Amino acid sequence: MRPFIALAASLLCVSAALSAPVHAHPVADDPATAHFLANEAVLIEAGETKILFDPLFTNSYNTYPLVDPQTKAALMAGEAPFDGIDAVFVSHVHGDHFDAEEMNAYLAAHRDVILVAPFQARLDMRQAAGWSETFEARLRIMPFVAEPQALSLAGGAIEVTAVHIPHAGGAQRAHIQNMAYRVTLNTEATVMHLGDATPDTPIYDTHAAHFEARRTDRAFPPYWLIGRWGGNETRARLNADEITGIHLPMLAPSWLSQTGEDYFTAPGQTRGLHPHSDD
C-alpha cells in the first residue's frame, strides 16, 4: 500500500503546486500537525492554514479534562500557536465541547475567523452574552439534515465535507445535532473529527459513499468507537490511514492500553499528518 499512497500523494502535491494558488506553503518544509488541547479540542496546522475543533468549553461534567487556563488565555488572545486561526469547528453544543459566551467573545476578538457549527450553536450564541449581529457573516451553519454538506473556506485552502452522525447514547441524545467533519487543508492534509459520534454502525453504512469519497490522513474518533469496533474496523469504516482517539475521561478506562491503538491523553501531544511523506 505505501508506495502507491506515496505516489498518489506526490502527484497530488505536484498538480496542486502547478494549478492552485492556495497551496502557498511547501509540504516538505512545513508538515501538517495536530496539537491536542484537552477532551476533543484539537488544533490542526498546515503551513499557515490553521483550524480548531471544539476548542471552547467550560463544563467537565466532573469527568473530562478542561483546557488549562494558560492555554485558554493564549487561545483567546490569539497568541502562538493560536495566531492566524482561519476557522473554528464545533461538533455539537454539549458543555464539554462548546460554550456560547466564550465563542461570542472569541469571534469578537478575532474578526477574520469563520465559525462552522450546527444550527443549535447559533441559537445558543444568540441567547448568550456578547452576541453581535456582525458575527452572522462569519457563521457557516450546518443544517440538521441527513445529507452530507460541503463547504469551501479560505479561498479553497480549507475544504469541508460533513455529515450528521447521531450522538452516542441513543434516543436520549437524538435531539443533539452532532457533526462529523472531514477537512482538507491546503489540498495536502485531511483530518476527520467526529464529535461524540455513536458507535452504532447503521449510520456509517448509510454514509458509506461519503466516507469512501476521500481518504483521511488521520481521524480523531471518540475513544469509544475504537473500543467498540477495534482499530482496524475504525480505520476501515472512516477510510482513515491513521486514528487517534480523543474524549478520554480523566480516569481512562482500563481496556484502553490493551487496544494497542493511539490516543491523545495529555495536553500538548502532537501527531503528524503526513504518513506518506515519512517514506
Q: How far is the CB of 223 from Zn ion (least distance, A)?
A: 13
CB of 249 to Zn ion, least distance (A): 13
Least Å from the CB of residue 132 to Zn ion: 27
x-or-dash string of contact with Zn ion, 4-43, rule CB under 5 A: ----------------------------------------
Question: x/- contact string, 63-102, with Zn ion (CB under 5 A)?
Answer: -------------------------------x--------
Distance from C-alpha of 98 to C-alpha of 120, rounded to nearest angstrom: 11
Nearer to Zn ion, 95 or 268 (CB): 95
Cβ-based nearer residue to Zn ion, 189 or 226: 226
For residues 235, 239, 244, 248, the Cα torsion angle rounded to the nearest 10 degrees is -80
Could you please report the per-residue DSSP string of 174-207?
A: TTS--EEEEEEETTTEEEEE-TTB---THHHHHT
* Rg of the chain over all Cα atoms, to the nearest angstrom: 18
Give min distance, CB of 40 to Zn ion, in A: 9
Tell me whether residue 191 is exposed, middle or buried, using C-beta atoms within 10 angstroms of its C-beta: 0 to 12, 13 to 18, 19 or more.
Answer: buried
Q: Considering beta carbons, is residue 47 or 166 the nearer one to Zn ion? A: 166
DSSP annotation of 251 reads S
Query: Of residues 175-234, which lie at the interface with Zn ion (CB under 5 A)?
Result: 196
Distance in Å, CB of 41 to Zn ion, minimum:
13
Q: Which is nearer to Zn ion, 63 or 201 (CB)?
A: 63
Alpha-carbon distance of 153 to 135, in angstroms, equals 16
Q: In sequence order, what are the beta bridge partners of 216?
A: 240
| Residues near Zn ion (CB under 5 A) | 94, 196
